[in-house]
A and B are shown apart, each in its own frame.
Chain A
Amino acid sequence: MDRTPGERIRSDADTGDVEFGDADRGMAGDGRADGNGGLDRRGRRRRHVHRFRGAQRRDRRAGDPQAPLDPGDPSEAILEGLRELQAKIGIAGADVGRFAHGTTVATNALLQRKGAAVGVVTTRGFRDLLEIGRQVRPAIYDLQVDAPPPLAARHRRLEVSERIGPDGAVIEPLTESGIAEVLDQLAGLDGVQGLAVCLLFSFVNPEHEQRLAAAIRRARPDLYVSLSSEVQPEFREYERFSTTLVNAFLQPEVGRYMQRLQAAIHDAAPRARVGIFQSSGGLMSVEKAAQFPVRTALSGPAAGAVGAAAAGRASGIGNLITLDIGGTSTDVCLIRDGRTEITHMREIAGFRIRLPMVDIHTVGAGGGSIARVEADGLMKVGPESAGAVPGPACYGMGGTEPTVTDANVFLGRLPLSLAGGGLSLDRARAEAVVTAIAGRLGVSPVRAALGIVGIATSNMTRAIRAVSTERGYDPRDFTLMPFGGAGGLHAADVCRALGIRRALVPRAPGILCADGLLEAELQENFVMTCRAPLVAGIARIAEAAAALRRQAEAWLAERGRGGDRRPRPAVPRHALCRPELRAVGRGAGGAVRRSRRRGGAARRLPRRAPARPRPRRPRRADRGGQRPLQGARPAAAGPQRPDQPGRPGGAVRYRDGVVRRGCRGRDPDLRARLAAGRHRARRPGDRHPARRHHRRPARGHRHRRPGAQPADGDRT
Chain B
Amino acid sequence: MQAEQALPIHLASMAGLMTHILAIFGDTIRPGDMFIGNDPHVAGGTHLPDINLATPVFDGDRLVGFVANIIHHADVGGAAVGSMSGGLDEIYKEGLRIPLVRLYSQGELVTDIQRLLMLNMRLPEERQGDLNAQIAAARLGRRRLEEVIARTGTDRLLRTFDEIVTRTRRRMQAAIATVPDGEYAFADVMDDDGTGTEDIRIAVTIRKEGDRIAFDFAGSDPQMPGNFNLTYNATQSAVCYALKALLDPDVPNNHGIFEAIDISAPEGSVVNCVAPAAVAMRANTCQRVVDVVIGALAEALPDRVIGAANGANTSAVFAGTDPRTGRQYVYLETLGGGMGGRVAKDGKDGVQVHITNTSNLPVEAIEQEYPLRVEGYELIEDSGGARAPPRRHGDPPDPAAGRP
Contact = CB atoms under 8 A, between A and B. Distances in A.
B67 to A, nearest CB: 15
Q: Is the interface of A mostly helix, strand, loop or mixed?
A: loop
B322 to A, nearest CB: 13
B352 interface: yes
B171 A131 contact: no
Contact of B140 (A140, A237, A375, A716): A716
Interface string A135-178: 11101111110110000000000000000011000010000000
Given A166-B367, A237-B363, A376-B167, A136 B352 contact: yes
Nearest to A378: B167
Interface stretch (B99-107, B179-187, B242-250): B242-250
Contacts of A140: 5, 7-8, 357
A134 B246 contact: no
B132 A619 contact: yes
A235 B369 CA distance: 12
A135 B334 CA distance: 10
Interface size class of B (residues with CB under 8 A): 35 or more
A238 interface: yes
Nearest to B244: A141
A618 B132 contact: yes
Contact of B365 (A139, A235, A619): A235
B359 A132 contact: no
Interface string A348-386: 000000000000000000000000001111100000000
A397 B378 CA distance: 53
Interface centre among A531, A621, A702, A714 (most CB of B within 10 A): A621
A128 interface: yes
A704 interface: yes
Interface centre among A134, A376, A621, A716 (most CB of B within 10 A): A376
A704 B150 contact: yes
A643 B114 CA distance: 65
Contacts of A531: 368
Interface centre among B175, B246, B344, B348 (most CB of A within 10 A): B348
B210 interface: no
A132 B342 contact: no
Interface stretch (B14-22, B85-93, B121-129, B192-200): B121-129
B136 interface: yes
Given A141-B8, A144-B342, A621-B129, A126 B350 contact: no
B336 A132 contact: yes
Nearest to B353: A137
Interface string B357-400: 11110111101100001011111000000000000000100100
Nearest to A145: B249
Contact of A375 (B175, B348, B351, B352): B175
A125 interface: yes
B174 interface: yes
A201 B342 CA distance: 37
Contacts of B171: 374-376
A128 B129 contact: no
A236 B364 contact: yes
A716 B7 CA distance: 26
Interface in B114-158: 125-126, 128-129, 132-133, 136, 140, 143, 150-151
Contact of A165 (B359, B367, B378): B367
B363 A143 contact: no
Nearest to B355: A140
Given A128-B378, A134-B359, A235 B133 contact: no
Interface centre among B125, B246, B363 (most CB of A within 10 A): B363
A688 interface: no
A129 interface: yes
Given A376-B167, A708-B150, A131 B350 contact: yes
A622 B367 CA distance: 25
B231 interface: no
Contact of B376 (A125, A135, A374, A714): A125
A132 B377 contact: yes
Contact of A621 (B128, B348, B363): B128
B364 A620 contact: no
Given A135-B359, A140-B8, A165-B373, 16 more contacts: A124-B376, A127-B378, A132-B360, A135-B352, A136-B359, A137-B352, A141-B249, A200-B363, A200-B364, A235-B364, A237-B364, A376-B168, A376-B170, A378-B167, A620-B129, A700-B151
12 contacts: A125-B398, A126-B377, A131-B379, A135-B359, A136-B336, A136-B357, A141-B244, A141-B249, A141-B250, A143-B249, A146-B339, A714-B143
